[in-house]
Amino acid sequence: MKLNVKTFAAFIFSSFLMVSSFSSASAERLTRAVADWTGGMVTCEVAEQILEQELGYKIDSIVFPSGTGLWEAVADGSDIQFACESWPSYAEADEVMVNQDLMYDGQVVKSDYKGDGSVEVYTSGIIGSSDYFVPKYFVDANPDFRDWRDLNKYKDQFATPETGSKGRLIGCAVAGWNCHDQKRLDLLGIDFEAVELGTEVAALAEAQAAYSRQEPFLLYFWTPHWFQGAYEMVGVKLPEWKACDKFTEANNWEDCGTGSWPATGWDKDYTINYMNPAVFAKPEMANAKAFFQKMKLSNDDQAVMINEIDKNGRDIVEVVQEWKDNNKDSWSKWLP
Amino acid sequence: MAFLSSTKKNTSNSSYYSLLIPFVIFVAFALSIYLAFQSEVKSTFPKFATDAFTFTAWINAGEDYLKDHYKWITRLIASYVKVGYYGFEDFLLDSSWVFVAALMIVPSFMIGGLRLAILFIFGVYFWGAVDMWDPAMESMALMGLSVLLSVIVGVFFGVLCSQSDRFESFLKPLLDTMQVMPAFVYLIPAMFFFGIGAAPAILATMIYSMPPIIRLTNLGIRQVPNETIETATSFGSTKTQTLFKIQIPLALPSIMMGVNQTIMMALALIVLATFIGAQGLGAEIWIAIRKLDVGYAMEGGLCVLLMAIMFDRFGKALSAESKTLPSESTKFHLLPQEWEIYPIAKIIEKPLGTIHFIIETVFKLTIGLVAYITSEIFSLFNSDFAESISNFLNKHFYFFSGVLILYSISLYGSIGPGIGQFPESWALSIREPIESSVQWLTINPTFIAFTKGLRAYVTIYLMRPLDTYLTFMPWWYVMSAFVVIAWASVGIRFAFVSALLLLFIAACNIWTQAMITLSSVMISVFFCFIIGVPIGILASYSKRFQNINEVILDAMQTLPYFCYLIPVLMFFGGGVVSALIATIIYSIPPIIRLTVLGLSQVSVTYSEVSKSFGGTTLQTLNKIKFPLAIPSLVMGFNQTVMMAFAMQIVTPLIGGKGLGKEVFAGLARSDTGRALAAGIGICLLAIIIDRISLAYTKKQREALGL
């Protein structure tokens, strides 16, 4: 009989593999996505800790970049059952997948969803808002700079090789978001060019580099976000948003006048937690569903936790646990 | 020097061509400039044609149909892959770190000796030391399984290819597409069909990393000399027997090379796999990048880099093993043998040699004892078998000592006091220095003045004019230029094919984006060329420089590009210039490598002849070495172009434009058709340029009589 090293190696390796074990799943198990920005992480960690510690669920988590892919995964429901804090004005998937009224504090805040209902949504409590920002050192150096109307005066300081004589706006971060930055600049008569960098990371890196060099820059951004905690930024106070029916592609983005913020409705974002309706319709998920209907994390609470995590470099689980231990009054109201 | 006279004859025969061709090119170019700058708007395809050709809608409808009807099949496949993955991952995560470390270090020591073992020890230490042990294990499971499946499927298709010319010519364009098609394009659809997490990641990785193994298996089998096959046939072996007993074993070195490349390509996808929920080092890097934590991302990137280098060197040692048996002359274990002349090298090597000898003796004795006992036991039943088993054990004493070590560690871990976590006191962190040096460069006035100057220069004098030129030139003019070039270099059939491919791009209404992509690729390749060729020349003259160069090139190719995208952006500002620089970093290695190869392959005789005729070094380089290295250079150019095209899908992350941005826009709106059309656009451009430059290489080779 002839023996062969390879057969032996294969045999030994497979015997190692056989020893390994498989874990089994239990009934009240849910899988959530870990968001890829700190605010979203905090919101979902809060939900997870309450669901696990107060309501007895077991939550697994998967790192999954947010975006349409995540919405599709939640709609599918077999691998991920819920995710947190989507910003509806930036998501496009919500228009396709949501078919219910959005409630906040007992009030309907959005009633025109006409999707196929493959995803169920409830507000998370966090309200996002957007504006154009300049660094504080720029305002300090130019005391007569008050708001967006003064931008043209200083456009030379904001110019880059790519934009020529115009100033540069580091525009809306993600290609999929409908921000219409250039349109807005044109309509407001701001002689700037919006440069899209494609990702939030890129926009932030650009802003951070410019900040550390103390150069002036104009940045489209939103709060709450760790960036505001780490760097001092001042909003240019764009005019209040007003619904404008004419401002659509079909009407060739017709002017709505400069008295209002001519864009899609994204000055205020009622952010949403979203989940798979079939999974949450099961009787054993009733408590979880009731919790999501009531959950209302405040911007201030989230900002404190974001700061602890990003500025002081602490572990997210520990920070959220600490908040949960000290703020029983806030979250006990969310329990079913 | 027959080849020189033959090229000369060629040119003298076609002397009137030599005047005509530059003239035609000049006129065509002048006309194109006129056409581009007299037109007021960007060139677009007629609207009725783009409206009729609703490719994106067809794709989306097809996808919906497949999703509704065939999802269960793909989900079934995914569930099998998933079980395999979790088995593998649980095994790696549940075993103690010492066991996993030994499982990697022991074989590396047996196959590659002390040098490889030290690399492995360092790699394993680094994963633990930067606190990325678990992610590294997850990535390893992911990569291991994708490579395993790629090799099984790839060798199968490679063998099929080698048996049928028709199948080969059918598969070839498919393989090209698999390699150039941006992975982002099929990642999201893969998720609909295969769920999220490891299974779709493994299957997507297979798509990307299988081509080299198919190609090299095919090549290896086809390269088996005819005489060998005829001999086998004349001894009466059937076709199957010849294939399995002669051709495949003889093709093994080539197949091993394919495995190596497959591993490299699988690792390149680790970060992208995060986008469909695969865990591991990629997820760590992505989260760090999201927080602009350059140092942390770089640590993750270095873990991937080390993993790549470890597997690469292991594979190389494995395939080299049979060729170069350790001869008596190589006594050094760590340092290069040439250093024998230095006394200090001997001082270092002496104890190592002794330790090596002791280990070997202990291993031999232990296994000798085991062999003796087993043979005694078996000789009770069958003495022949007992002897063969004892011989076998004694012969492979290294292998079985390794197995013994692994089993004892595993026993110690489960029965003994336990091993526990990677010791915290061994931790190492390089994120602070990386972070602070990036920060220092970001605010360094001289450096930033330099980057700003470069950025302004490139934008104003290169990017903008070329973008305008290409996008404003009428589409039919660009198309005919391509067709004429294709006709002249490849042939009439390819001219038709490229016309069709370009019409597809135009009809999908992505002509402008395609031209912008073409312009960025042209500029990046231009820079790669003017930077890469001089470096290649330097490296071909200095061995020491070449050694350093190799390491840097390896790093550039295997370090996930996400790690350097952010620093590049911080230095050069977001936008097309950063995109350009990232593309150059990623795609410059082939041109440098092939310049070195081309120049050092020129036989010494030619340079000697040139020198003896009084040629200076520069003259030799210019007149002899360069002309002879042209095929190699064109090959390098070709690969650089391919990689530059592949990078176009990543650059939109930091402000790049063109087709890549179109892919992202499609994905963000859940519009697979739009993303796919743009992805196919990138592929088609790449394939056309690939074919043209390959045909050019072939002609050059023939002209040089190589």
**Domain assignment of residue A7, yes or no:** no
**Domain assignment of residue B335, yes or no:** no
**Domain assignment of residue A118, yes or no:** yes
pLDDT at B325: 46
Q: B574 and A67 in contact by Cβ < 8 A?
A: no
CA B636 to chain CA mean position, Å: 14
- Residue A102 shares a structural domain with residue A42: yes
- Residue B198 shares a structural domain with residue B288: yes
pLDDT at B674: 85
pLDDT at B580: 92
Average pLDDT score over chain B: 81
Which residue of B lies nearest to A65 if distances are taken between CA atoms? Answer: B275
A237-248 burial code (b ≥16 CB/10 A, e <16): ebbebeebeebe
* Residues B178/B210, Cβ–Cβ less than 8 Å: yes
* Residues A198/B650, Cβ–Cβ less than 8 Å: no
Q: How many structural domains comprise chain B? A: 3
Beta bridge partners of residue A108, listed in sequence order: A103
- Residue A154 shares a structural domain with residue A229: yes
**Domain assignment of residue B438, yes or no:** no
pLDDT grade for B156, boundaries at 50, 70 and 90 = very high
- Residue A116 shares a structural domain with residue A201: no
- Residue B216 shares a structural domain with residue B354: no
Does any CB of chain A come closer than 8 Å to the CB of residue B504? Answer: no
Q: How distant, in Å, are the alpha carbons of B113, B122, B353, B647 from that of B325?
A: 12, 26, 18, 41
- Residue B547 shares a structural domain with residue B418: no
Does any CB of chain A come closer than 8 Å to the CB of residue B656? Answer: yes
Q: Which residues contact B157 (CB under 8 A, 6 or more apart)?
A: B171, B210, B214, B217
pLDDT grade for B55, boundaries at 50, 70 and 90 = confident
Residues of B in Cβ contact (< 8 Å) with A80:
196, 277
Residues 527-566 of B with CB under 8 A from A: 565-566
**Domain assignment of residue B561, yes or no:** yes
B319 vs B508, more confident = B508
Q: For residue B12, is pLDDT > 50?
A: no
Residues 122-141 of A with CB under 8 A from B: none
Q: What angle do CA B672, A128, A80 make, to 5 degrees?
A: 45
Strand A58-63 with A29-34, pairing: parallel
- Residue A205 shares a structural domain with residue A281: no
Mean pLDDT of B300-319: 86
- Residue A100 shares a structural domain with residue A135: no
Task: Give me the residue from A33, A68, A79 closest to B669, CB to CB.
Answer: A68
Q: A199 and B286 in contact by Cβ < 8 A?
A: no
- Residue B599 shares a structural domain with residue B450: yes
- Residue A326 shares a structural domain with residue A278: yes
Burial of B317 (0-12, 13-18, 19+ CB in 10 A): middle
B5-30 burial code (b ≥16 CB/10 A, e <16): eeeeeeeeeeeeeeeeeeeeeeeeee
* Residues B472/B42, Cβ–Cβ less than 8 Å: yes
Best A193, A197, A312 residue to mutate vs chain B (most B CBs within 10 Å):
A197
Residues of B in Cβ contact (< 8 Å) with A63:
274, 277, 279, 283, 286-287
Q: A175 and B460 in contact by Cβ < 8 A?
A: no
Mean pLDDT of B341-347: 73
- Residue A162 shares a structural domain with residue A120: no
Q: For residue B78, is pLDDT > 70?
A: yes
Q: For residue B521, is pLDDT > 90?
A: yes
Percent of chain B with pLDDT over 90: 8
Q: For residue B587, is pLDDT > 60?
A: yes
Domain that holds residue A179: 129-235
Q: For residue B2, is pLDDT > 80?
A: no
| Residue at a domain's end among B426, B461, B480 | B426
DSSP string, B68-100: HHHHHHHHHHHHHHHHHHHHHHHHHHHS-HHHH
Q: How far is A242 from chain B (nearest CA, A)?
A: 25
pLDDT at B324: 47
What is d(CA B553, CA B581) in angstroms, rounded to the nearest whole number? 15
Q: B388 and A64 in contact by Cβ < 8 A?
A: no
pLDDT at B34: 81
**Domain assignment of residue A40, yes or no:** yes
What is d(CA A38, CA A21) in angstroms, rounded to the nearest whole number? 34
**For the segment B456-486, what is each residue's pLDDT rounded down to a tens digit?**
888 888 888 898 888 888 888 888 889 998 8
- Residue A119 shares a structural domain with residue A137: no
Q: What CATH number is attached to the domain comprising A64?
A: 3.40.190.10
CA neighbor of A272 nearest in space, from A61, A30, A97 = A97
pLDDT at B43: 77
- Residue A99 shares a structural domain with residue A134: no
Chains A, B: CB contacts within 8 A come to 165
- Residue A139 shares a structural domain with residue A73: no
- Residue B458 shares a structural domain with residue B602: yes
Q: For residue B337, is pLDDT > 60?
A: yes
* Residues B512/B50, Cβ–Cβ less than 8 Å: no
Best B569, B572, B647 residue to mutate vs chain A (most A CBs within 10 Å):
B569
Q: What CATH number is attached to the domain comprising B185?
A: 1.10.3720.10
Residues 332-391 of B with CB under 8 A from A: 385, 388-389
What is d(CA B432, CA B527) in angstroms, rounded to the nearest whole number? 32
Q: What CATH number is attached to the domain comprising A142?
A: 3.40.190.100
Q: Which two tokens stand for residue A26?
A: 């239990």
Question: In three state form, how does the secondary structure of B124-139 look?
Answer: HHHHHHCCCHHHHHHH
Q: B573 and A206 in contact by Cβ < 8 A?
A: yes
Mean pLDDT of B339-349: 72
What is d(CA A142, CA A135) in angstroms, rounded to the nearest whole number? 11
Task: Give me the residue from A9, A92, A209 closest to B570, CB to CB.
Answer: A209
* Residues A45/A316, Cβ–Cβ less than 8 Å: yes
**Domain assignment of residue B395, yes or no:** yes
**For the segment B238-290, what is each residue's pLDDT rounded down to a tens digit?**
888 888 888 888 888 888 888 888 888 888 887 788 877 788 898 888 888 87
Residues of B in Cβ contact (< 8 Å) with A64:
196, 276-277
- Residue B373 shares a structural domain with residue B468: no
Percent of chain B with pLDDT over 70: 92
- Residue B480 shares a structural domain with residue B582: yes
Beta bridge partners of residue A122, listed in sequence order: A273
- Residue B119 shares a structural domain with residue B179: yes
Beta bridge partners of residue B117, listed in sequence order: none
Task: Give me the residue from B385, B652, B655 closest to A1, CB to CB.
Answer: B385
Does any CB of chain B come closer than 8 Å to the CB of residue A116? Answer: no
**Domain assignment of residue A19, yes or no:** no
Which value, in Å, is the radius of gyration of the alpha carbons in chain B? 28
pLDDT grade for B525, boundaries at 50, 70 and 90 = very high
**Domain assignment of residue A51, yes or no:** yes
Average pLDDT score over chain A: 80
Q: B279 and A170 in contact by Cβ < 8 A?
A: no
Q: Which two tokens stand for residue A312?
A: 């002081």
pLDDT grade for B154, boundaries at 50, 70 and 90 = very high
Domain that holds residue B421: 341-426
B47-79 burial code (b ≥16 CB/10 A, e <16): eeebeebebbeebbeebeeeeeeebeebeeebe
Name the region of B233 (left: φ>0; alpha: ψ -120 to 50; beta: rest).
alpha
Best B403, B441, B670 residue to mutate vs chain A (most A CBs within 10 Å):
B670
Q: For residue B8, is pLDDT > 60?
A: no
Residues of A in Cβ contact (< 8 Å) with B286:
36, 63, 65
Beta bridge partners of residue B661, listed in sequence order: none
3-state secondary structure of B598: helix
| Residue at a domain's end among B268, B287, B320 | B320
Q: Which residues contact B606 (CB under 8 A, 6 or more apart)?
A: B1, B624, B625, B628
Report DSSP state, residue B655. Answer: T
* Residues B158/B454, Cβ–Cβ less than 8 Å: no
Does any CB of chain A come closer than 8 Å to the CB of residue B593? Answer: no
Q: Which residues contact B627 (CB under 8 A, 6 or more apart)?
A: B704
| Residue at a domain's end among B363, B394, B426 | B426
Which residue of B lies nearest to A16 if distances are taken between CA atoms? Answer: B91
Q: For residue B4, is pLDDT > 90?
A: no
- Residue A58 shares a structural domain with residue A76: yes
**Domain assignment of residue A230, yes or no:** yes
Element (H, E) at B374: helix B343-379
Residues of B in Cβ contact (< 8 Å) with A311:
none
Does any CB of chain A come closer than 8 Å to the CB of residue B166? Answer: no
**Domain assignment of residue A243, yes or no:** no
Q: How far is B571 from chain A (nearest CA, A)?
A: 8
Tens of each residue's pLDDT in chain A, 336 residues: 344 555 555 555 555 544 433 333 445 788 898 877 788 889 999 999 999 999 989 898 887 777 777 888 888 888 889 999 888 766 667 778 888 888 888 888 887 788 888 899 999 988 887 788 999 999 999 999 988 888 999 989 998 888 888 999 998 776 656 667 887 788 778 899 988 887 778 888 889 899 988 999 999 887 777 787 788 898 888 876 665 666 555 665 565 555 545 444 455 678 899 999 999 998 889 999 999 999 999 988 998 898 888 778 788 999 999 999 999 988 999 988
Which residue of A lies nearest to B576 if distances are taken between CA atoms? Answer: A162
- Residue B247 shares a structural domain with residue B106: yes
Q: How many structural domains comprise chain A? A: 2
Q: For residue B518, is pLDDT > 90?
A: yes
What is d(CA B110, CA B359) in angstroms, rounded to the nearest whole number? 12
Q: How far is B196 from chain A (nearest CA, A)?
A: 6
- Residue A230 shares a structural domain with residue A134: yes
pLDDT at B10: 46
Q: For residue B117, is pLDDT > 90?
A: no
The complex's ipTM works out to: 0.73
Does any CB of chain B come closer than 8 Å to the CB of residue A178? Answer: no
CA neighbor of B667 nearest in space, from A71, A95, A68 = A68
DSSP string, B208-245: HHHHHHHHHHHHHHHTS-HHHHHHHHHTT--HHHIIII
**Domain assignment of residue A256, yes or no:** no
Does any CB of chain B come closer than 8 Å to the CB of residue A313? Answer: no
